[in-house]
A and B are shown apart, each in its own frame.
Chain A
């Protein structure tokens, strides 16, 4: 089952809590809010950038540094 093996070797995104967010930011992580631009304009975590989920592609992701951790978030568990 080559397809299954491929799945297992992929690096799953990790669910983290607030304490881990702060620790990662201290290590240079990039914060990305994936909500629409209007939500981001109203309020966002200090230092975050906005890449709405509907606009997330190779071109928009080029704003991010692949060598540093990335933290994505939205409003809550939606």
Chain B
């Protein structure tokens, strides 16, 4: 659609016309500013935990155990922070010498930062997920959303809406 619009503008005499072909989907997936009726809804990008443990493909399982602490997940990233895999810490092998790439789940499902909290919660409940990685459109890591924290945010938002509706 946008290339046709650009050519129409060209036919109307505009001489410096550009097409952002990746468009609104790409912009939102990068967590860049949007306006409009839906733009103010709470989204998961703001709630993603950026302190989620990460490791490189070649890191050893013995180190991951120590870095992961209480987290259920360690995300495997490259130098550009692109998510390559997910390690569920409950599945860490006994072999401390194993590398992250040998024990990770490659190509995990990830979600964009502009997904609404309500949509994400619905998906997590349907699929019985406790946490989910959030990545930008280029695959780089934003963080990990925790279902418990999204549910807490939902309760707070509902209480706030109800308070606004009350007439004292």
Contact = CB atoms under 8 A, between A and B. Distances in A.
Interface residues of A, number: 45
B18 A58 contact: no
A42 B24 CA distance: 12
A43 B34 contact: yes
B18 A34 contact: no
Interface in B82-138: none
B51 interface: no
B71 interface: no
B167 interface: no
Interface residues of B, number: 36
Contacts of A12: 10
A48 B15 CA distance: 19
Contacts of B36: 40-44
Interface in B1-24: 1-10, 12-24
B5 A53 contact: yes
Contact of B15 (A11, A21, A32, A73): A11
Contacts of A42: 36-38
A20 B18 contact: yes
B19 A72 contact: yes
A72 B37 contact: no
Contacts of A10: 10
A75 to B, nearest CB: 5
Given A14-B18, A72-B19, A44 B24 contact: yes
B53 interface: no
A53 B38 contact: no
A42 to B, nearest CB: 5
A34 B2 contact: yes
B22 A76 contact: yes
Contacts of B33: 45-46
A18 interface: yes
6 contacts: A13-B17, A21-B18, A33-B24, A34-B1, A66-B14, A72-B20
Interface of A: 10-18, 20-21, 24, 29, 32-35, 40-48, 51, 53, 56-58, 61, 64, 66, 68-78
